[in-house]
Structure 1
Amino acid sequence: MDAIQDFNTLGSIRTTKYGETFEGFKKGEDDEEPLSPMAQLLHEPGSNMYIICFIGLKTKIRPDVIKENLVNAVVKNRRFSSLQVRDKANGSMKWIPTHVNIDDHVIIAELDPNIKSPDKFVENYILNLSRSGIESTKPLWDFHLIDVKTSEAEGTCIFRCHHSIGDGMSLTNLLMSCTRKVSDPDSVPTIPGMDRLGAAKVANLWSRLGVFWNTFVALLMFALTGLFLEDTKSPIKGSKGVEGRPRRFVTRSVSLEDIKFVKRAMNVTFTDVVLGVTQAAMYRYIRERYNDKNMDSPHNMRIRATIPFNLRTTMKIDDFTHKDNGTWGNKIGYLLLPFDIRFKKDPLDYVRHANSTMKRKKASLEPLFTYYFTKLVLMLFGTKVTGELTHKVVHKTTLIFSNIPGPQDEITLFGHKVAYLAPSCYGQPYALMINVVSYMDKVMFVMSVDEETIPDPQKLCDAFEESLRNIKASA
């Protein structure tokens, strides 16, 4: 497997600035602005990540319509209209506005007229995108159009950008601001929970003493992980250098009503159910991998997931503007969540374990402390030391898990009806990343895998489907 040579080589670049004002900058002033320390951290080795989202469309792609709308809706945002340039003297980086040629950012895929498997073609196209990054001579985003019919869509759009531009929530907000409800073309879609995000209510879940204790234990585990505490070597744990290898992205859709049925039957949250399904699927997949080698799977495996936690208290799509007013940036903390990868006679025990663990995590200030501790280390020691420390902690865990709420209504993207949304990442120091996103009546598990570690990702998808089926039957 070829390694990724260099996601983004940043040098000293001369730019041509706009001759007119655009959102976020004032004409006649020094338009250069430094990247935040968090944004610069995301260029360090081991943290140099790209966010990627593939969007299935129910209608044929109209490239001219998409280009015109991208200019109006995205390019006006200064983060999408600026280069990220490194100062050779001190190593710091700045946003520098530049002229954006939309044709440099919208790529129309060249299609083989004799494609045997369109689904595999799209999957391999995205795999090849993960082999490299975006040239630093232009703003770090692009939009790929694959006008070929697959089993789930008439065409596929792929949006990709460097993680330093924003986190998953701010980019979700941007994407949703570009969509409209099919039932009401003048309205943006509804996303459940967007008005009550973040950690604002964490301290109210338990008494202050309980919050203090849970926070202390969580931070102690972070410290021990940084020093020596590493997860058990398993068929899903990546080896050294995994962040530099290309990724295969696979998806599996399940019924949202099945998830809700278990949620209601057990009186738990949506996240508890999908985490329970994930733990059951991990057990099923790991057991099968060991059986293939005629080996007994080890008992009491330590497997932990890193979970990004949005720290914004609220974020409404209809409040979205192109100005950098707090909507943008990387405002996320992290949780380390232990998985229970053991045989359960009652499949519902996976959900019960997820529920009890998440209650403790929500009743703590772990994400706030990890966020502000990272900012403190950045201020005291700079991005290089912080990058090395962050990589040391996260590489000792096994996977990253993210649950992203999606629109409940059928939507259009620039006039194209949307069949599915599938966000993910590459460049992360894990062999497995799992994103769960809901859309209309479906829930999609999106998996970003390192094929050297997980050579059979479709079997992993099967494990998710079978695990949900067993949990629903038990409920």
Structure 2
Amino acid sequence: MSLLHACTRRTSDPESLPSLPKTRRRPTAVAASFGPFIFLCWIWTFLIYVWNTLVEVILSVSTTIYLKDTKILNMGKEGIECRPRRIVHRTLCLDDIIPIKNTIGCTINDVLVGATSAALSRYLSRKYGGLLPKHLLIRTALIVNIRRISGINDLAYMMKEGSEAKWGNQFGYFLLRLPVIKCEDPLDYVRNAAANTEKKKKSWAAILNYKSLLLISKCLGIKVAAVLFNSITSNLTLSFSNIIGPIEEVSFCGSPLIYIAPSVSGHHEPLTMQVQSYLNKIKVVVQVDEQAIPDPHRFLDDITYSLQIMKAAAASAT
């Protein structure tokens, strides 16, 4: 996606690269404010990161060996990665998501993860006649970009020797549980997602997952790394990624882009979601194994409906 964005130009200015929305950065303490209290805060933060990372490592190892999601969507079946997939997409308005984000005090990604959790709850509840099975374990591999540089770089700079814009995919992942339950307050889905992702962010799990697979592939070969990675994804229900796109209209080789809808293939999860922002819109791309989800358009309807009732709940809460 970085390469694709680097090949586009603003429609209004064909010589200029597109720009991305500003991302919120965590405040950092300056050296002038260093003192005993700040030192204790650093120690406490370090311990939190160590503990959360340890928990994530245990979860990843357990998932690789034996911990499997509830096979409610025909997940983990032999040859699922080779079966045909159906790709559907839906355009959402960013203005419908921002009020929910501001009410909860979270990120847009948290809202989308919460809406996915609510949509799954609604979809499975309808599938089982309004009665959700208890103690469901539904998890997603939440993909995280771990590149050190952000923004859109010129292709010439990316190809320049010594450039910090390294080639190849550089992403890690978190294992995030999605509660499939009925909530009286629809905003509880977002609150739960925000609380869980905040714990994941306060760890080095994403970087560790990426580095460990990279080390295994170099030492033991790419086939061993692929087997280990597949043993994790085959025990999960879905994967989820959110990519930030240009905030103005762009063109590719002189042709204006109406929307951007990325997807992937060859994976074991029966449900994959890619979310791509572009202009003031968000494109939700769902790829499904039709033996698991035979009506993906209905699932997209559930996502849209979940966001609508969340927006109404956010409006009544303010």
Q: What band does the TM-score fall into relative to the shorter chain?
A: 0.7 to 0.9
Counterpart selection for 2:133 from 275, 298, 302: 298
Instruction: Write the distance in 2 (CA, Å) between the matches of 1:182 and 1:204.
Output: 46
1:261 alignment partner in structure 2: 99
2:28 alignment partner in structure 1: none
Structure 2 unmatched runs, 5+:
26-40
Q: 1:265 Cα shift?
A: 1.8
Q: 1:383 Cα shift?
A: 2.1
2:18 alignment partner in structure 1: 189
8 Å CA contact retained: 1:235, 1:289: no
Query: 2:69 is paired with a residue of what secondary structure?
Result: coil
Instruction: Write the distance in 2 (CA, Å) between the matches of 1:309 and 1:381.
Output: 25
Instruction: Write the distance in 1 (CA, Å) between the matches of 2:222 and 2:85.
Output: 26
2:127 alignment partner in structure 1: 289
Matched, 1:315 2:150: yes
Matched, 1:384 2:223: yes
| Alpha-carbon distance change, 229 to 214 in structure 1, aligned in 2, over 3 angstroms | same
Instruction: Write the distance in 1 (CA, Å) between the matches of 2:281 and 2:42.
Output: 32
Matches within 5 A, 1:135-174: 172-174=1-3
Q: 1:392 Cα shift?
A: 1.0
8 Å CA contact retained: 1:235, 1:286: no
Query: 1:464 is paired with a residue of what secondary structure?
Result: helix
| Alpha-carbon distance change, 234 to 205 in structure 1, aligned in 2, over 3 angstroms | farther
| Alpha-carbon distance change, 204 to 289 in structure 1, aligned in 2, over 3 angstroms | farther
Q: 1:387 Cα shift?
A: 1.7
8 Å CA contact retained: 2:75, 2:234: no
8 Å CA contact retained: 1:248, 1:451: yes
1:158 alignment partner in structure 2: none
Matched, 1:332 2:171: yes
Across the aligned residues of Structure 1 and Structure 2, the Cα RMSD in angstroms comes to: 2.2
Q: 1:254 Cα shift?
A: 1.3
Matched residue type, 1:179: T
Q: 1:218 Cα shift?
A: 0.5
- Where relative contact order (Cα < 8 A, 6+ residues apart) is larger, the structure is 2
After superposition, what is the alpha-carbon deviation per residue over 1:332-370, rounded to whole angstroms, capped at 9, x for unaligned? 112111111111000000000011011100000001111
Instruction: Write the distance in 2 (CA, Å) between the matches of 1:421 and 1:375.
Output: 29
8 Å CA contact retained: 1:275, 1:351: yes
1:402 alignment partner in structure 2: 241
Instruction: Write the distance in 2 (CA, Å) between the matches of 1:385 and 1:183.
Output: 48
Counterpart selection for 1:207 from 40, 45, 53: 45
Structure 1 stretches of 4+ with a deviation exceeding 3 A read 193-196, 203-206
Instruction: Write the distance in 1 (CA, Å) between the matches of 2:3 and 2:43.
Output: 31
Counterpart selection for 1:373 from 193, 212, 215: 212
Q: 1:447 Cα shift?
A: 0.4
Instruction: Write the distance in 1 (CA, Å) between the matches of 2:109 and 2:46.
Output: 24
Query: 1:422 is paired with a residue of what secondary structure?
Result: coil
Q: 1:315 Cα shift?
A: 3.2
Q: 1:288 Cα shift?
A: 1.4
8 Å CA contact retained: 1:422, 1:446: yes
Instruction: Write the distance in 2 (CA, Å) between the matches of 1:432 and 1:204.
Output: 39
1:445 alignment partner in structure 2: 284
Matched, 1:358 2:197: yes
Query: 2:263 is paired with a residue of what secondary structure?
Result: strand
- Structure whose residues are more often helix by fraction: 2
Counterpart selection for 2:299 from 435, 460, 468: 460
Matched, 1:344 2:183: yes
TM-score if structure 1 supplies the norm length?
A: 0.59
Counterpart selection for 2:66 from 183, 204, 228: 228
| Alpha-carbon distance change, 281 to 207 in structure 1, aligned in 2, over 3 angstroms | same
| Alpha-carbon distance change, 393 to 205 in structure 1, aligned in 2, over 3 angstroms | farther
Matched residue type, 2:9: R
1:179 alignment partner in structure 2: 8
| Alpha-carbon distance change, 350 to 195 in structure 1, aligned in 2, over 3 angstroms | closer
Instruction: Write the distance in 1 (CA, Å) between the matches of 2:65 and 2:5.
Output: 41
Q: 1:224 Cα shift?
A: 1.1
Matched residue type, 1:467: S
Instruction: Write the distance in 2 (CA, Å) between the matches of 1:278 and 1:205.
Output: 36
Instruction: Write the distance in 2 (CA, Å) between the matches of 1:206 and 1:282.
Output: 36
8 Å CA contact retained: 2:238, 2:269: yes
Instruction: Write the distance in 2 (CA, Å) between the matches of 1:206 and 1:310.
Output: 26
8 Å CA contact retained: 2:233, 2:267: no
- How many residue pairs match? The answer is 296
